[in-house]
Chains A and B, each alone.
Chain A
Amino acid sequence: MLFRMAALVNGVALLVVVVFITLKGWKAVTWDFLTQAPLESMTKGGILPCIVGTLCLGIGAIVVALPIGVASAIYLNEYARPGRLLRLIRLGISNLAGVPSVVFGLFGLAFFVIWMKMGESIIAGVLTLAALTLPVIIGSSEEALKSVPNTYREASLALGATRWQTIYRVVIPAALPGILTGAILGLSRAAGETAPIMFTAAVFYTPNLPASPFDKIMALPYHIYVLATAGTNIEATRPLQYGTALVLIALVLGMNLTAIIWRARLRKRMK
């Protein structure tokens, strides 16, 4: 009974947040809101630059992190032999996963923005977010590789294929849907993060859509934070804040739901 209550609390918490934001925000989300730039020092108008910015950052981060993450997972699952070295690599990955998001922000600022002289830019934000999503991608790719039955590998090796041919022609195709699910989860994680982009890519306000990777941009999470804490008129822009929050959770939860449903189907098929 008590335990069921505990489980229920989670559901209620999620429901309360989502329903509240939806009820308060849906009136603000109009076609103009989605397709216009902010107007009159962000007290009116829309959030198009933020949506574009968030998509640029999220997709960019995945494009960078996916190949590295999948290759790492291939090493861990297909090549590595148990031992001290493997344990060290795993410890490194779990520690990277535990690094606070604001520390990623500091790192991005010190390394990409200042040391690599990228300045506050999309590229600096993308690389910072890629470092942050890497452990997520490695974890889900490894799970996908693990779920490929060993008989597939053995059959391929028995036919005379080399280890690399087996991985490339048999294991990766079989694991691909699982890997892509992980990519969606990573994308949604990157899209929702605020602290890592505060010092590396995001600005208060820019009317222009990004034209080059060295532009600064607006992003949905940062826009919510700015409007809610430092906007020109915090109370008057509440509807805009709810609207922006609604767009962000719709984007993030939508991607997650897609990934969850897709994965559930995959698991059924694997059985």
Chain B
Amino acid sequence: MRIFFFSVALASIAILFMIMIFLFMEGIPIFKKVTITDFIFGKYWYPTSSPPDFGIFPLIVASIAVTIVSSVISIPLGVMTAIYLAELAHKKVAEIVKPIVELLAALPSVVIGFFGMVVVAPFLQETFGIPTGLNLFNAALMLSFMSVPTICSLSEDAIYSVPVALKEGSLALGATHWETLIRVILPASISGISTAVILGMSRAIGETMVVLMVAGGAAMIPASLFDPVRPMPASIAAEMGESPFRGDHYYALFATGIVLFLFTMLFNVIADHVAHKYRQAGEASL
């Protein structure tokens, strides 16, 4: 029985490997046409013109830009909500707020993208007098509402897992609740909060429908917050349907998938490393 369950438990790793194998199988052939350096640092993405240009640098920059801008919103919002829920809120209030955060996480991405298109985009366009409301800022704003729940719930777990004795020790020494929070609880849970932040960012960089619908779709390096952009997932989702089967464009999209996959994998490995290396082992480690 043990062997049976063990082999089933390996399914996740097996799927992960299969994903890698098939991404590489369908993506590597593009590098016969374009060198890896030209692919990653090429500034022009014109996959359908002749001769085509397969440079995904603008897409990578776009992905990084929306992720950073969205983190500027989602990190404070997520962490502060977590602190509020874990330390400040009355139990009754927390019991209402927590499901709200969970429901926010459950909103389908296509609905958030749709909302960004029909509500936020016209609003931005009118308020700031810009040519299009479908841009980097809008995408980042919508993405932040998708990563807040991840950041919030994982940070909250981290704050909860701080031993009560630490908190009581601090209070017993005469520190106020606020001092205890800033000086004791947050430092003790910082590794968990960092993990939460990294995973939240990983969610933002990989999210597809939102950037497909509201980022604007222009494959250029953005010069301002209100420029339309085309992050990697948007490019893959938008172009896969029309790219000829096993043509260069098709291979290039899979290769973009590899880059995206490596980004999120990197985020996850860093998160795992932080969680284990700087884990708060017990009261003695402070």
The verdict on B39 contacting chain A, using a C-beta distance below 8 Å, is no
* Of B6, B102, B261, the contact of A260 (CB 8 Å cutoff): B102
Main secondary structure of the interface of A (DSSP, over half): helix
Write the nearest CB–CB distance from B51 to chain A, whole angstroms. Answer: 25
Does B207 lie within 8 Å of A100, measured CB to CB? yes
Write the nearest CB–CB distance from A138 to chain B, whole angstroms. Answer: 7
Write the nearest CB–CB distance from A49 to chain B, whole angstroms. Answer: 17
A11-B199 Cα distance, complex, nearest whole Å: 22
A252-B5 Cα distance, complex, nearest whole Å: 31
Given contacts A14-B100, A260-B99, A102 and B2 within 8 Å (CB-CB): no
Segment at the A interface, from B17-25, B54-62, B165-173, B182-190 = B17-25
The verdict on A205 contacting chain B, using a C-beta distance below 8 Å, is no
* Of A88, A131, A164, A195, the contact of B237 (CB 8 Å cutoff): A195
Does B267 lie within 8 Å of A92, measured CB to CB? no
Q: C-beta contact mask, B84-126 vs A, less than 8 Å → 1, else 0?
A: 1100110000010101111110111111111101110000000
Given contacts A20-B119, A71-B9, A3 and B106 within 8 Å (CB-CB): no
Residues in A with CB closer than 8 Å to B99 are 257, 260
Q: Smallest CB-CB separation from A189: which chain B residue?
A: B106
- Chain A: residues with Cβ within 8 Å of the partner, total of 78
A252-B103 Cα distance, complex, nearest whole Å: 9
Q: C-beta contact mask, A109-146 vs B, less than 8 Å → 1, else 0?
A: 11100010000000000000001001100100000000
Does B106 lie within 8 Å of A192, measured CB to CB? yes
Write the nearest CB–CB distance from B143 to chain A, whole angstroms. Answer: 12
Main secondary structure of the interface of B (DSSP, over half): helix
Segment at the A interface, from B42-50, B75-83, B221-229 = B75-83
The verdict on A55 contacting chain B, using a C-beta distance below 8 Å, is no
Segment at the B interface, from A30-38, A151-159, A207-215, A221-229 = A221-229
Does A6 lie within 8 Å of B80, measured CB to CB? yes
The verdict on B284 contacting chain A, using a C-beta distance below 8 Å, is no
- Chain B: residues with Cβ within 8 Å of the partner, total of 81
A68-B104 Cα distance, complex, nearest whole Å: 27
Residues in B with CB closer than 8 Å to A6 are 76-77, 80-81, 84
Cβ < 8 Å to A, chain B residues 232-286: 233, 236-237, 240-241, 253-254, 257, 260-261, 264-265, 267-269, 271-272, 276
Q: C-beta contact mask, A146-183 vs B, less than 8 Å → 1, else 0?
A: 00000000000000000110000000000000000000
User: Which among A13, A71, A102 has the highest number of chain B CB atoms within 10 Å?
Assistant: A102
A95-B109 Cα distance, complex, nearest whole Å: 20
Residues in A with CB closer than 8 Å to B139 are none
The verdict on A75 contacting chain B, using a C-beta distance below 8 Å, is yes
Q: C-beta contact mask, B7-22 vs A, less than 8 Å → 1, else 0?
A: 0111111011011001
Does A225 lie within 8 Å of B12, measured CB to CB? no
User: Which among A11, A17, A100, A222 has the highest number of chain B CB atoms within 10 Å?
Assistant: A100
User: Which among A95, A101, A229, A241 has the highest number of chain B CB atoms within 10 Å?
Assistant: A95
A9-B77 Cα distance, complex, nearest whole Å: 8
Does B213 lie within 8 Å of A228, measured CB to CB? yes
The verdict on A29 contacting chain B, using a C-beta distance below 8 Å, is no
Does A100 lie within 8 Å of B261, measured CB to CB? yes
Write the nearest CB–CB distance from B47 to chain A, whole angstroms. Answer: 16
Residues in A with CB closer than 8 Å to B80 are 2-3, 6-7
Does A199 lie within 8 Å of B108, measured CB to CB? no
Does B145 lie within 8 Å of A96, measured CB to CB? no
The verdict on B148 contacting chain A, using a C-beta distance below 8 Å, is yes
Does B152 lie within 8 Å of A10, measured CB to CB? yes
The verdict on A44 contacting chain B, using a C-beta distance below 8 Å, is no
Residues in A with CB closer than 8 Å to B112 are 17
Does A91 lie within 8 Å of B272, measured CB to CB? yes
Does A93 lie within 8 Å of B264, measured CB to CB? no
Write the nearest CB–CB distance from A59 to chain B, whole angstroms. Answer: 17
Write the nearest CB–CB distance from B265 to chain A, whole angstroms. Answer: 6
Write the nearest CB–CB distance from B201 to chain A, whole angstroms. Answer: 11
Residues in A with CB closer than 8 Å to B164 are none
Q: Smallest CB-CB separation from B144: which chain A residue?
A: A13
Residues in A with CB closer than 8 Å to B8 are 68, 71-72, 75
A225-B234 Cα distance, complex, nearest whole Å: 13
Q: C-beta contact mask, A75-106 vs B, less than 8 Å → 1, else 0?
A: 11011100000011101111110111111111
Residues in B with CB closer than 8 Å to A61 are none
Write the nearest CB–CB distance from A136 to chain B, whole angstroms. Answer: 11
Write the nearest CB–CB distance from A22 to chain B, whole angstroms. Answer: 12
The verdict on B208 contacting chain A, using a C-beta distance below 8 Å, is yes
Can you spell out 8 A-B residue pairs with CB atoms less than 8 angstroms apart?
A: A10-B104, A76-B9, A95-B268, A106-B26, A185-B106, A194-B108, A225-B113, A245-B114
B interface residues with partner A (beta carbon < 8 Å): 1-2, 4-6, 8-13, 15-16, 18-19, 22-23, 25-26, 76-77, 80-81, 83-85, 88-89, 95, 97, 99-104, 106-115, 117-119, 145, 148-149, 152, 199, 202-203, 205-209, 212-213, 233, 236-237, 240-241, 253-254, 257, 260-261, 264-265, 267-269, 271-272, 276
Q: Which 3 A-B pairs have the closest CB atoms?
A: A100-B206, A192-B108, A6-B80
